[in-house]
Amino acid sequence: EHGEKKGFMKRFYAAFNTSFETMTRKYKGSVYFLAKKKWIAGLGLLAFVVALVWAMNTTPKGFVPNEDLGSIMSDISLPPGTSQERTNEVITKIDSIVATVPEVRLTLKVIGRAMISGSGSSYGMVIARLKPWDERKRDVKTIIGELFAKTANIKEAKIIFFAPPTIQGFGTGGGFEFQLQDKTGGTIADFSRISNEFLAALSQRPEIQYAATSFNPNFPQYLITANVAKIKQAGLNVSDVMSVMQGYYGGVYASNFNKFGKQYRVVYQADPKYRGNLESLNSVYVRTPSGTMAPISGFISTERVYGPQAISRFNLYTSIAVTGNPKPGFSSGDALKAVEEEAAKILPQGYGYEFSGLSREEQSAGSQTIFIFLLCLIFVYFLLCAQYESYVLPLAVILSLPVGLAGVFLFDKIFGIDNNIYTQITLIMLIGLLAKNAILIVEFAAERRRKGMTILQAALEGATARLRPILMTSFAFILGLLPLMLSTGVGAAGNTSIGTGAVGGMLIGTIFGVFIIPVLFIVFQTLQEKVSSKSPYDESVMERQTHLNFEKSDTPED
């Protein structure tokens, strides 16, 4: 059995080596053909450059892909002034709908607080924990789409479902967020009207799944006006009256006490039944300097008004926070571009916006990407200049890079991956890996040239001698990245972005680069010798001899 196994392995190695030698001869013939028809290689390189530019401009842009973290958040807001009991009924109904989704393992409902809207009796949220990734076939985006559809008939509440942010601390959820700003100092009513018009226009964009805000200027409120003359006549200050009202209605921190080894805070406040309506003011008294108790209602007047629960500011301007999510098939970069376009058309003079959270980081990082790539290329170029002691020959390595970089974006477009930060890391990584393949050929060919071979012969020798190690290392790298490209579960989006781009760039760069790199060496080595006037060999005679030798022994078989 051992002999049979050994014999099989010998036959396999012999067959493989024979096939590889045949392929190498054909490869050498193809390189020789391209060396004689350099314009074909030039057109091929130009095609890859055009493909790279086209793919870079058409691939959707993003920052950090939304990961499937196995949970879904929600923000639920009912009309202003809704009681906590009614809010509980609606959220219980939503919770039961969420629990019917097969991929949901458990749910948690919260009354009185929402992820985006804040705190209040009309707010709440439902948090869903999904089953493990190996027990469900659908991702979180698909499940969120189903939840939007199932809760669309609940008209009494505004419901938003979203995935938690990939990077904790940057916003409340995935998608995009920005702050509308009123720089005119106008009224809240005008600002609210303009924000509603802007959000209505955004909702019509094909890139936007939803864009919403928790800002609502219709919360029922009372405007309390102090009668300063009466207060002074009673020997009191306005602060005395307001402090009493704060204690009865808002609560005041008074002291601490220790019990069972723990410290507790003491807050005094009237019971809800004594502060639940406007008439309760008649039962609230303030002590005057004479010692008598005077009713608060004699010192103030009330007026029913409507306004926002809270007014926020961003960069010192009155602001309204807006959150949203791009539709499936669109990236966060597409959504940000849609926001910019609609803002230019809808927002009047004096109103603006600023991105916040991860969207702000995405905007600031986008302007630095080109600078970082150029810096990488410059470093690689100068390192090669030091290695080859030439400013011309390194261009043979640099100009071979677009072949592989185009492969990154082509694979991203095929597999529906946006141009995010992981893709950009892949590009920087591939600059070194693809340059390594080119260096193997150029360095070997330059060494053969220094030993007296013609430029053409040196290029052919360098290409054929380094073909096996280039293919071996490149395909080993590609096979090692396949699990990353096909990964699932936590972090799958980032892993897939890196794996897909690296596999595409290395595969395309290796297959086509081994044909273009020798031609680039011939072009720039010839240019280098013309510039430096260093050509100790009779190139024309040696070139003819190389041509004759190749026709006799290395002509590729049909």
Q: Return phi, psi of residue 137, to 5°.
A: -100, -20
pLDDT of residue 173: 66
pLDDT digits (tens, 9 = 90+) for 485-519: 888 777 788 888 899 999 999 999 999 999 999 99
Residue type, 247: G
For Cα atoms 214, 216, 217, give the angle at the middle one, nearest 5 degrees: 155
pLDDT of residue 450: 87
Q: Is the pLDDT of residue 185 over 60?
A: yes
Range in 301-305, 314-318, 471-475, 542-546 the model is least confident about: 542-546
Cα separation, 285 vs 297, whole angstroms: 8
The beta strand positions in 204-308, using DSSP E, are 208-212, 219-226, 252-259, 262-268, 285-287, 293-295, 300-307
pLDDT digits (tens, 9 = 90+) for 295-304: 888 888 888 8
Q: Is the pLDDT of residue 557 over 70?
A: no
Residues 175-199, mean pLDDT to the nearest whole number = 89
* CA distance readout (Å), 553 to 23, 28, 120, 356, 525: 15, 11, 87, 67, 25
Cα separation, 402 vs 406, whole angstroms: 6
Residue whose C-alpha is closest to residue 433's, from 515, 486, 344, 505: 505
**SS3 per-residue string spanning 354-419:** EECHHHHHHHHHHHHHHHHHHHHHHHHHHHHHHHHCCCCCHHHHHCCHHHHHHHHHHHHHHCCCCE
Cα separation, 170 vs 173, whole angstroms: 8
Mean pLDDT computed over every residue of the chain:
85
Quickly state the pLDDT bin for 547 (edges 50, 70, 90): low
Domains and CATH numbers, the chain: 26-64+363-553 (1.20.1640.10), 70-163 (3.30.70.1430), 182-213+308-355 (3.30.70.1440), 219-307 (3.30.2090.10)
pLDDT of residue 207: 86
Quickly state the pLDDT bin for 470 (edges 50, 70, 90): very high
Residue whose C-alpha is closest to residue 535's, from 447, 454, 431: 454
Residues 9-36, mean pLDDT to the nearest whole number = 87
Residues 125-150, mean pLDDT to the nearest whole number = 87
Q: Could you tell me what percent of the chain has a pLDDT over 70? A: 93
Residue whose C-alpha is closest to residue 172's, from 356, 435, 306: 356
pLDDT of residue 149: 87
Q: How many CB atoms lie within 10 A of CB 454?
A: 22
The model scores a pTM over 0.85? no
Residues 284-311, mean pLDDT to the nearest whole number = 87
Quickly state the pLDDT bin for 538 (edges 50, 70, 90): very low
pLDDT of residue 536: 47
pLDDT of residue 49: 92
Residues 232-248, mean pLDDT to the nearest whole number = 89
The beta strand positions in 131-269, using DSSP E, are 158-162, 176-182, 208-212, 219-226, 252-259, 262-268
* Helices 2-36 and 38-58, axial angle in degrees (round to 10): 100
Residue type, 358: L
Asked if residues 62 and 496 have their Cβ atoms less than 8 Å apart, the reply is: no
pLDDT digits (tens, 9 = 90+) for 381-425: 998 888 888 888 899 999 999 999 999 999 988 888 888 888 888
Q: Is the pLDDT of residue 555 over 70?
A: no
The upper half-sphere exposure of residue 291, i.e. CA atoms within 13 Å in the direction of its Cβ, equals 0
Adjacent-strand bridge partners of 354: 179
> How far does Cα 465 stand from its chain's mean position?
43
Asked if residues 397 and 403 have their Cβ atoms less than 8 Å apart, the reply is: no
Cα separation, 398 vs 438, whole angstroms: 9
Q: With H, G, I as helix, E, B as strand and everything else as coil, classify residue 81.
A: coil
pLDDT digits (tens, 9 = 90+) for 90-108: 999 999 999 999 888 999 9
Q: Return phi, psi of residue 554, to 5°.
A: -115, 15
pLDDT digits (tens, 9 = 90+) for 345-372: 888 898 999 988 778 877 777 667 778 8
Cα separation, 436 vs 441, whole angstroms: 9
For Cα atoms 513, 384, 458, give the angle at the middle one, nearest 5 degrees: 55
Q: With H, G, I as helix, E, B as strand and everything else as coil, classify residue 516.
A: helix
Q: Is the pLDDT of residue 549 over 90?
A: no
Tokens coding 469: 């190690």
Quickly state the pLDDT bin for 479 (edges 50, 70, 90): very high
Tokens coding 472: 């071996």
